[in-house]
Amino acid sequence: MLKERIREEARRIHEEAVQTRRHLHAHPELSFTEENTAAFVAAKLDAIGLPYERMANTGLVALLQGKKGMSDKVVALRADMDALPIHELNEVPYKSQTPGVMHACGHDGHTASLLGTAAILKSMEQEFAGTIKFIFQPGEECTPGGASIMIREGVLQNPAPQCILGQHVMPELEAGKIGFRAGRYMASADEIYITVHGKGGHGAMPHTTIDPVLITSHMIVALQQIVSRNANPTTPSVLSFGKVTANGAHNVIPDKVTIDGTFRTMDEAWRFEAHRRIEAMAKSIVESMGGTCEVKIIVGYPVLINEEKLTAATRQLTEEYLGKENVVDLPIWMAAEDFASYSQLTDACFYRLGVRNEARGITSGLHTATFDLDESSLETGAGLMAWLALKSL
């Protein structure tokens, strides 16, 4: 049976996948600087016997053509490769050797898993027809995102896939389990930068100043009304400011205040209407209190949409491969992911791979200094993606 054959191959490549993941974990590279990572992946693809090309400077795209007859069907599989500016606190043999940089989001696992999938499928090339496109993408953690660059350079062309699959580790989910959500799954994410200009002076003489700290305080509170009173209550929306910089002193009112924030939602039309409202409200409040302001909104990743029929079919296939008891429903998540760029252009399914192991203390969340993953998930991830690819073809 095909399922048993893939499981056998997944067991065969598991130890190499673990070593691949540990090498990548020990040698992390930040977004768009993944030169050594790309070279390592290229060497692995050479060893597997897959032709590839470079894209987006540090990205790679490999193709595998099945040899069992002719078919114009194409399935794309995607992994990201970049790390985060976090100093690792785990004491493990494969701990990051680059101070201040760490694979805290599991992209090392994504890459190792997809290389495992490639090895499995290459060993079975005589048994299927159609084409599988392997996308090793840089820069997921940094706007504008490697996905948008690879798309611009033609990653979804020559040949064009009918669908694209992606998986992401999930430390809240036990290893061996997979999570799905059809439709809108992850939020758009835009960066907001506002500078409020006033007139500084002595804290004991506020009447001689135009206090940008006070103005900014009013503005931050008022801007929350955009979500509470302008957004449709059925549309998830988040407006958060995480950085406020005044650079005055206990008795010094500064000349300006800068604030950095993020706006996230699940509706593309409302997203850009909210941008307009944020800028208009910020400027009107600041000007009404005697100051001036500049608003800069950097458009980030769009809403991630899991195409309904593809996701339902992928979920059913996953239940066949792993058992229905190992497949769970996911809630919407207001985090963002640049896989969304693919989902805006072709049928896409982005699912979650469980990596939690409480018995071994592997429970830390994504983007934390103690994140790790149960490496048994690499066998699950590589085998499942191979199964999904072949069944999709």
pLDDT tens digits, the chain, 393 residues: what are they?
Answer: 899 999 999 999 999 999 999 999 999 999 999 999 999 999 999 999 999 999 999 999 999 999 998 889 999 999 999 999 999 999 999 999 999 999 999 999 999 999 999 999 999 999 999 999 999 999 999 999 999 999 999 999 999 999 999 999 999 999 999 999 999 999 999 999 999 999 999 999 999 999 999 999 999 999 999 999 999 999 999 999 999 999 999 999 999 999 999 999 999 999 999 999 999 999 999 999 999 999 999 999 999 999 999 999 999 999 999 999 999 999 999 999 999 999 999 999 999 999 999 999 999 999 999 999 999 999 999 999 999 999 999
**Residue 336 contacts residue 300 (beta carbons within 8 Å):** yes
* β pairing state of 163-174 and 347-356: parallel
| Distance, CA of 122 to CA of 221 (rounded, Å) | 57
Q: Treating both helix axes as pointing N-terminal to C-terminal, what angle do 2-26 and 376-392 enclose, rounded to 10 degrees? A: 130
| Distance, CA of 230 to CA of 287 (rounded, Å) | 22
* pLDDT of amino acid 70: 84
Catalytic position from the list 29, 34, 108, 140: 140
* pLDDT of amino acid 66: 95
Respond yes or no: is residue 329 known to be catalytic: no
Q: 2-186+303-392 maps to which CATH number?
A: 3.40.630.10
The DSSP call for residue 338 is T
Which residues neighbour 232 within 8 Å (Cβ) at sequence distance 6 or greater?
267, 270
In the chain, residues under CATH classification 3.40.630.10 are: 2-186+303-392
Query: CATH says 189-301 is which class?
Result: alpha beta
| Distance, CA of 55 to CA of 47 (rounded, Å) | 20
In the chain, residues under CATH classification 3.30.70.360 are: 189-301
* pLDDT of amino acid 302: 97
What are the beta bridge partners of residue 196?
A: 257, 293
* β pairing state of 327-329 and 178-180: parallel
Neighbouring C-beta atoms of residue 167, cutoff 10 Å: 29
Which residues neighbour 316 within 8 Å (Cβ) at sequence distance 6 or greater?
none
Respond yes or no: is residue 140 known to be catalytic: yes
Catalytic position from the list 9, 82, 88, 379: 82
* pLDDT of amino acid 69: 82
As a three-state string, the secondary structure of 267-324 is CHHHHHHHHHHHHHHHHHHHHHCCCEEEEEEEEEECCEEECHHHHHHHHHHHHHHHCH
